[in-house]
Amino acid sequence: MPINIVALQRYLPAAVKNILKPYYRKLFPSQLCVMLWVTFRCNYRCSYCPYVTRSDYSKIYKKENEPTSEAWLQALNKLPQANIYIAGGEPFLYSGLPELINGLKKHRILGIVTNATVRKNVYGRIIKNKKINLTLSFHREFVTEDQFLDKIKELRKTGLFHFNVNLVATRENVMMIPKFKKFFADNNVSLRIEPFRDLDVKFEYTPEEKEILSRYLAPDRNSVDIANFNSCMPKECSAGQNYISIMPDGTVFRCVGGSEYFHNPSKKELLDSVGCDPGFFLMGNIFDPNFRLDKSSVYCRLPCTAGCDWDMAKIKWLKNKK
């Protein structure tokens, strides 16, 4: 009998799930995993956000082109059984999200990333037996830790979710990590630290910052010099086969990084250096009756720019291939 990761999530706290995260593809090597971006609209404009602030994807994928929850359910049901992670923008600004979540019978929800700013009644439209993992993004540019904790306490009363707080380790945040780690631990909330990574910004942590990060990064982010971020070493990747990224209008890319390479003109020089056409990452549209997943892994030499790509794709480095 196969392991049901979402059933386990009803009983496992988010902190335990994060410990198991690096082993996801070993436990579930062939299961389809979907990154579903229901909207790129957001009520925050974080200085470090690649999707809202520096490249406004909401101008590419506009609100008027966002499908209804019924249309999403019909299209997603054509896929094999999948584990779905919902992201944005702020996903709960998509008005049909609770109904989309409630209607997913065939598929399982791995989690939802949110800044927790929408009204409590929006979350209350989700049926209670789902017990979904919420990754609550703590953005210090817009909210204090006390205000953020108040929102968590409010959501706890619904009994609908497991919680995990996510903090991007920007230069402004690094020195505050020990303080926030204790603050959230004292309130029974796990804090996950994501290293700041951006191919468009020449950024490197100082030795002092690296020392702090080394104490607080999760196992799957245990190096602040993640080799595959800047590496053009060839690899065999399951993106497109058992991992895809779906945009708010149904456009499907093999991976999150692939959508960045496709949309960002600043990536052209890097694409040219490895002889890659950005169209390589584009797979079609989920609403197309002829849409199909890849039947095998693909060969890629571009850096994996997104943590979700590392988590959800099965990557085999080809050290001897040029």
Each residue of 75-87: pLDDT tens digit?
A: 999 999 999 999 9
Reduced to 3 states (helix: H, G, I; strand: E, B; else coil), residue 133 is strand
- Which of the four pLDDT bands, split at 50, 70 and 90, describes residue 1? very low
**Residue-range definition of the domain harbouring residue 36:** 5-317
- Measured between its terminal Cα atoms, the distance across the chain in Å is 41
The tens digit of pLDDT for each residue in 137-153 reads 999 999 999 999 999 99
Q: Do residues 248 and 39 touch, judged by C-beta distance below 8 A? A: yes
Q: Looking at this protein, which amino acid is placed at residue 317?
A: W
Task: Name the one residue in this structure whose structure tokens are 């603050």.
Answer: 183
Domain count, the chain: 1
Query: Is the residue at 322 inside a domain?
Result: no
CATH number, position 147: 3.20.20.70
The tens digit of pLDDT for each residue in 17-68 reads 666 666 667 777 788 999 999 999 999 999 888 888 878 899 999 999 999 9
Alpha-helix runs per DSSP H in the chain: 5-9, 14-20, 24-27, 69-76, 97-103, 120-123, 145-156, 171-174, 177-186, 207-216, 227-230, 256-263, 268-273, 307-312
